[in-house]
Amino acid sequence: MTMMDENSPLFAIAMAAELAALHPQTLRQYDRLGLVRPRRTVGKSRRYSMRDVAQLREIARLGAEGVSLEGIRRVLELENHVSELQARVRELESALADELLTRPGRRVFAAGESGDVVSLRAGTRAQRNNQVVVWRPTTH
């Protein structure tokens, strides 16, 4: 069974153009310019994903606001980079959570008496100094 997500290539160019409210020739131009890169079938037909359609809508919006195609290319490049970084952060957070749950002998840190960092084994407490010091001024 194949899982479908926002990146699954579902739509032929005519349907993608309709969903994005653009002309199919515009989609071909954007593909040639590298603004959107649809997947290809064995017969070399373009297949667009929902993510591609959303990107086409974003291109149309930016173009309507007067942003040049080169500017749009740069904006999309940066947005895609941010998406990749966010996915990597989620991946690292998940790996860290797994590591913290499965690693034996997890360690805890506390502040020592002189402000230094003290490593403690899980389930132990820091030793505290409970001495009381009384100060009395000297009389001369």
Q: Which residues partner with 136 through β-bridges?
A: none
Query: Can you give the pLDDT at residue 19?
Result: 95
Cβ count near 37 (within 10 Å): 12
Pairing of strands 39-40, 107-111: unpaired
Cα distance between residue 127 and residue 125, in whole Å: 6
In tens, the pLDDT along 6-32 reads: 888 889 999 999 999 999 999 999 999
Which domains, from first to last, does the chain contain? Answer: 13-72 (1.10.1660.10)
pTM comes to 0.61
Band the pLDDT of 2: cuts 50, 70, 90. Answer: low
Q: What is the pLDDT of residues 90-132, one digit of tens each?
A: 999 998 888 777 776 656 667 777 777 777 666 666 666 666 6
Do 55 and 34 contact (CB within 8 A), yes or no? no
